[in-house]
Amino acid sequence: MRRRLITSTLAVVLVVIAVFGVSLVLVETRTITSSAQESVDSDALRLVSIVESRLVGGEPVNPDILAEQGDITRHAVIRIPGRGPIEIGEPPSGSVIRGTAEGEPNITVTVEESHSSVTREVGRSLLIIGAVALLAVVAAVLLAVRQANRLGSPLTDLAETAERLGSGDPRPRHRRYGVPELDRVADVLDASAERIARMLTAERRLAADASHQLRTPLTALSMRLEEITVTEDLETVKEEASIALTQVERLTDVVQRLLTNSRDPRTGSAVVFDLDEVVKQQLEEWRPVCRSAGRAIVCSGRQGMRAVGTPGAVAQVLAALIENSLMHGGGTIAVRTRVTGNQAVVEVTDEGPGVSADLGARIFERAISGRNSTGIGLAVARDLAEADGGRLELLQLHPPVFALFLSRVAKKRKDEKPTVR
């Protein structure tokens, strides 16, 4: 592009120089020729005037006096009736410029100048015009190179930015070049880079969330299937298979929920549901895992509560809290349900060492973990809780108490009573 820009600029300048240069040469040549002719005619008239005045005064007329008095440096011939021609200077060779003037009585003066003087003057003018044209060409080349660099470098830079985007590096460069069209292209590329970065972040986040959220349910499902393979009791097989099918349905719901949340974390599909069913489901799912880890899980509190939310999302939140207690806590895992105002609260606690003070303020941030874990579970759980209008909080550090707050249906049911399960 640089070469084409320089070549095109130089071609335009050369065309302009050719058109105006030829015109200027023609005009200058004509002007110099006309000036030389006028000068010769002026010398002839001056000589006629001098000769007439000397003849009237009876003064002698000779070449030296006429040349000195008329300041004549060209060749001149004066013809006076009754006398021979009077010549001043040497006759020029080659083509001449001739001027003639007549006076009284029948005086004729002819002044001649060699055309070579005009040719020399035209040559000097051509040299000046050529020097100016050369300077114009040099200036045009320098300007074209500067302009080519000004346009070429940004285009190369934009091409590198596009190549970086294609290679998977979506960082915007935020460079501007002072050229509106190029700055517009840079704006579009930066906006595209930001969109690609958001998409890649969402994809990575979805992959990490799916890996984290599906790991434990799949482990529990695997344990159910193992129990089916080792038992010969048909009733036990049917029961375990039924629970396994329920867990498969939950896994499907988890995947659907993750996909929905990855598109828009604020999207919720809250409904009125039976909180007991969700809590019971989690207890059944996590008891085999806790038993294999030598831990126990118990539930106590209110029964018969109806809350507003998405059952699948609430189940995922409780699963994240129970898994967190299983990984980082100790002793018995306790799930308690209670009522506060118009909210239903589900608390999960254990008998472990709890959460450190410096970690407590950031416990729900991504990649924050007290041990070598991903630090994703609690962050995903809070997002799921807030998507349906609830909230997830750490109420106590020692022992750790996590609480899920959900909107509760105002009408109380008759079977709602304290119970221990």
Helix (H) or strand (E) holding 97: strand 96-103
User: What's the CA gap between 163 and 211, in Å, rounded?
Assistant: 31
pLDDT at residue 339, rounded to an integer: 94
- H-only helix segments in 231-268: 234-263
User: What's the CA gap between 360 and 362, in Å, rounded?
Assistant: 5
Give the Cβ contact number of residue 160 at 10 Å. Answer: 11
Task: Give the residue from 254, 235, 362 showing the smallest Cα distance to 310.
Answer: 254
Give the Cβ contact number of residue 379 at 10 Å. Answer: 22
Strand partners, 402: 348, 394
Identify the architecture of domain 265-420 in CATH.
Answer: 2-Layer Sandwich (3.30)
Q: And the tokens for 384?
A: 């799921």
Q: And the tokens for 118?
A: 């005009």
Q: Give the CA angle between residues 113, 114, 118 to the nearest 5°.
A: 100
pLDDT at residue 403, rounded to an integer: 95
Contact 340, 404 (CB under 8 A): no
Helices (H) and strands (E) in the chain, counts: 9, 12
Task: Give the residue from 343, 348, 325, 321 showing the smallest Cα distance to 390.
Answer: 343
Question: Which amino acid is present at 228?
Answer: I
Do 265-420 and 2-137 fall under one CATH topology? no
User: What's the CA gap between 118 and 114, in Å, rounded?
Assistant: 8
Question: Which residue is associated with the tokens 């009733």?
Answer: 235
pLDDT less than 70: residues of the chain: 1, 70, 200-216, 254, 257-269, 367-375, 410-421
Q: And the tokens for 331?
A: 């002793």
pLDDT at residue 420, rounded to an integer: 47
User: What's the CA gap between 99 and 177, in Å, rounded?
Assistant: 66
Q: Which CATH class is domain 2-137?
A: alpha beta
With H, G, I as helix, E, B as strand and everything else as coil, classify residue 93. coil
pLDDT at residue 410, rounded to an integer: 62
Task: Name residues whose C-beta falls within 8 Å of residue 377's C-beta, 6 or more positions apart in sequence.
Answer: 212, 213, 320, 323, 324
The full DSSP string for 49-72 is: HHHHHHHHHT----HHHHHHHHT-
| Cα Rg of the chain, angstroms | 53
pLDDT at residue 387, rounded to an integer: 81
pLDDT at residue 277, rounded to an integer: 92
Task: Give the residue from 302, 296, 299, 281 showing the smallest Cα distance to 348.
Answer: 299
Q: Give the CA angle between residues 139, 140, 143 to the nearest 5°.
A: 85
Q: And the tokens for 131?
A: 């020097």
Extended strands (E) in 151-277 = 271-274
Domain boundaries, the chain: 2-137, 170-203, 265-420
pLDDT at residue 413, rounded to an integer: 47
User: What's the CA gap between 28 and 121, in Å, rounded?
Assistant: 10
